[in-house]
Structures are given as structure tokens and as C-alpha cells.
């Protein structure tokens, strides 16, 4: 009971003294009080502004992260959309081959899932095998032209030998001159047609297609165009260097026929 009453009396006495004091003393007291409180008040105001700035900075950082995430998602979706459009174009081009395939034959659209890294052979793996009907010796097409043949068929994966592999062989003919020769690959990754006659009328730009001999390749499958013709040393025949119509280094989908 004593302490609150004492404080009350002290405050009242202080107020009475201030009222009775001269004006100069009152102004001095107010100035001293203002000087004393100025720094804490300024500090509290600056601290408040700093706190608001930190809150706004955090908010801006969160918004930036959100916008960057949305931008990355948008770019990913645009990329996926472009990939699907390109894949659709490739599949449409491959499926356009089907009307040219004999009615007795079947056609299988396959994806390329691996490629041999060796420079000594040129082989790709496709995502279909015996379970889907793939068999060895089936011709493999892309971009409306021959790119190879199936050499091994597993249960769900098959191996395709490309026409640029040194072990590849196929009977072909030169359109226009009707001459026939043997198409084979080389270690340099080219295609050549050997055993053209010494007086061949074939010339650069002439197209080469399968001749239909041997029973494995249907007649008339486009292969490529002649780039140049050379005479083999010590041989009576000539050899044509052929550029394949298909880009064998960028195969993604192919068509197996059989």
C-alpha cells in the first residue's frame, strides 16, 4: 500500500514543480528529454524500416523463385511439344511407306534405342524383337529408303546392320541404265556399288535401288544417289560411290518389313 501511494505523490509533486518553474527551466527540461529520447526513437524507426525491407526482400525472393520455376516448366513443356511434333512428322513419313509395301508383307515401326560406338561396324538396336514378329534378314527402312537389315532378333530387341557396314551386301540396280551390281559398306562409312561394267553409262546423280534378287529385299527400295564412279586398279569393272538418301547418323525411328 505504501509504494503506490508514494509513487503517486512523487509524480504529483514533480508536476507541480514543473508548473511552478520558470519557462526557461521548462524549455531546458523538454530539450534535454527530447535529446535523450531522440536516439532510441530514431533507432526504433530504422529498425522498423529494416524489418519491413527484410520482409519485402523475402517476399521478392519467393516471387523470383516461383517465376523462375514457372519459366523452367514453360521451357520444358515447349521442348516436349517440339519433340512430339518432330516425332509425329518422322512417324508420318515412315508410315507413308506402307502403301508401297507388298500386301503380303508386314511392317513394324521401331525405335532406335542404341548405336554401336565402334568404327569397325555400324549397327543399331531397335526396340522390337521376335515377340512382335521381327525376324533376321528383314529390310529396314527410313526416310523412304533402305538403311539396313535385321541380323539378330532377340525376344524384345533386335540388331540391325546398316548399309554402310563392311559386312552388308545387297543386289542393286542403277535406275536409267538398268545395270546391276552389289551394294556394300566400307570401313570409311561409305556405300559403294561394285561390279559395274567397264563401259558403264551410269553417272553421278543416278539413283540406286534394290534389284529384288536373292529374296531378302523387295525390288525398287531406294538406296541413294551416285556421287562418282571410279575404275578399280587392275580390274575391268567400275565402282560407284553412293551417298545414302537417309541420314544414318540420325536415325530415331525405322520401319522393318517382312
Q: What is the mean pLDDT of the chain?
A: 80
Say yes or no: 28 and 149 in one domain.
Answer: no
Domain that holds residue 50: 12-95
pLDDT tens readout for residues 38-89: 566 566 666 667 777 778 888 888 888 888 877 777 776 666 666 666 666 6
Asked if residue 222 is part of any domain, the answer here is yes
pLDDT at position 65: 82
Residue where one domain finishes, among candidates 67, 95, 123:
95
Q: What is the DSSP letter of 232?
A: P
Asked if residue 136 is part of any domain, the answer here is yes
Asked if residue 164 is part of any domain, the answer here is yes
pTM: 0.64
Asked if residue 86 is part of any domain, the answer here is yes
Say yes or no: 131 and 235 in one domain.
Answer: yes
Q: Is residue 98 pLDDT above 60, yes or no?
A: no
The number of distinct structural domains making up the chain is 2
Q: Are 151 and 257 in contact (CB under 8 A)?
A: no
- The angle at the Cα of 242, spanning 241 to 245, to the nearest 5 degrees, equals 165
pLDDT at position 16: 57
Asked if residue 59 is part of any domain, the answer here is yes
Q: Are 122 and 165 in contact (CB under 8 A)?
A: yes
SS3 237: coil
pLDDT tens readout for residues 134-174: 999 999 998 779 999 999 999 999 999 999 999 999 999 99
pLDDT at position 192: 96
Amino acid at each position: 500500500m505504501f509504494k503506490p501511494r508514494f509513487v503517486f505523490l512523487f509524480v504529483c509533486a514533480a508536476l507541480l514543480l514543473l508548473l511552478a518553474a520558470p519557462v526557461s527551466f521548462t524549455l531546458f527540461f523538454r530539450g534535454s528529454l527530447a535529446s535523450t529520447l531522440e536516439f532510441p526513437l530514431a533507432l526504433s524507426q530504422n529498425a522498423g524500416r529494416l524489418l519491413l525491407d527484410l520482409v519485402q526482400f523475402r517476399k521478392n525472393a519467393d516471387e523470383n523463385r516461383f517465376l523462375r520455376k514457372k519459366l523452367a516448366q514453360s521451357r520444358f513443356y515447349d521442348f516436349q511439344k517440339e519433340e512430339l511434333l518432330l516425332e509425329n512428322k518422322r512417324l508420318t513419313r515412315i508410315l507413308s511407306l506402307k502403301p508401297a509395301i507388298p500386301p503380303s508383307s508386314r511392317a513394324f515401326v521401331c525405335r532406335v534405342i542404341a548405336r554401336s560406338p565402334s568404327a569397325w561396324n555400324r549397327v543399331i538396336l531397335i526396340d522390337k524383337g521376335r515377340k512382335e514378329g521381327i525376324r533376321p534378314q528383314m529390310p529396314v527402312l527410313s526416310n523412304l529408303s533402305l538403311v539396313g537389315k535385321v541380323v539378330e532378333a532377340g525376344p524384345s530387341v533386335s540388331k540391325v546392320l546398316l548399309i554402310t557396314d563392311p559386312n552388308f551386301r545387297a543386289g542393286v540396280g542403277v535406275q536409267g541404265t538398268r545395270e546391276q551390281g552389289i551394294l556394300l559398306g566400307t570401313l570409311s562409312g561409305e556405300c559403294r556399288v561394285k561390279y559395274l561394267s567397264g563401259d558403264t553409262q551410269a553417272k553421278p546423280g543416278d539413283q540406286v535401288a534394290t534389284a529384288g534378287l536373292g529374296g531378302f529385299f523387295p525390288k525398287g527400295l531406294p538406296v541413294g544417289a551416285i556421287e562418282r564412279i571410279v575404275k578399280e586398279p587392275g580390274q575391268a569393272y567400275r565402282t560407284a560411290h553412293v551417298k545414302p538418301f537417309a541420314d544414318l547418323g540420325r536415325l530415331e525411328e525405322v520401319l522393318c518389313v517382312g
